[in-house]
Amino acid sequence: MEAIETPSEPTEPEEPTNPGEVTDPENPENPGATNPEEPVDLEEPTEPEEPTEPTEPEEPTKPVTANYYVSVHQTGAGDVIINDKEYNRPVKVKKGDEVTVEVSPKTYYEIESVTIMSNGKKEKKIVSDKQLFQETLSISKDTEIHVVFTPIIHSVSLEQTGSGKVKITHPNNRDEVELEAGKGVAIEAGTEVEVEIIPEEGFEIHSVAIEMNGVIIIVGLNVHHLTKHSHCQG
């Protein structure tokens, strides 16, 4: 007898998968998984960076040279020369530079003192020549030069023979001073004075001489039977 085949039950159609989704054969329940056999896009290789140009080495910073000032403070009449120029305002110099200083008084004046002040120190210079001072200074700090000029003072003295009086008078203030033998009177150089010689009764002026270095007035009065008055200007 022939076997009768039993008809199989119809199967339900499978739900279509979303396009673009690939079913993982090893994991059919994960339809979005990547198919391992599908090639993976690789990133395009980046172009090699161009080598940067070497930078030039920076020049070393030059040390800054300090600047200082030389100033002059003076009293009296005279001139101060700094580096061959007459001083009229502070002179700017670099640290370590040398400056030449020349000090000279005006007519009838002399140098009394020169003092250098720098870095908190005070140095009084030896002035052997009252009419000229010269020195070279090395400057490391602000420097002050203090100069004092004073009038030249002459001592006017009298040498006298015979009896009488000798007086000197300053024409500006009319102060009258009677000279005495052996005693000097201080008079500033350049000052004009009047000299008056008055013989005592019985004497007359015989001679008058003046020695300029020490300013000595030499008066000779001789005995005479007449009294004479004479006025001399010197």
How many structural domains compose the chain?
2
Half-sphere exposure of residue 65: CA atoms within 13 angstroms, side-chain side: 8
Asked whether the beta carbons of 58 and 123 are under 8 A apart, the reply is no
pLDDT in tens, 36-51: 566 656 666 677 777 7
For residue 114, give the nearest of 100, 122, 105, 124 by alpha carbon: 124
For residue 43, what are its two tokens? 């990133």
Whether 167 is in a domain gets the answer yes
Domain that holds residue 74: 67-151
What is the pTM (predicted TM-score) of this model? 0.60
Which pLDDT belongs to residue 227? 42
Whether 42 is in a domain gets the answer no
Same domain, 118 and 171: no
pLDDT in tens, 161-213: 888 888 888 766 667 888 887 788 888 888 888 888 888 888 888 888 887 76
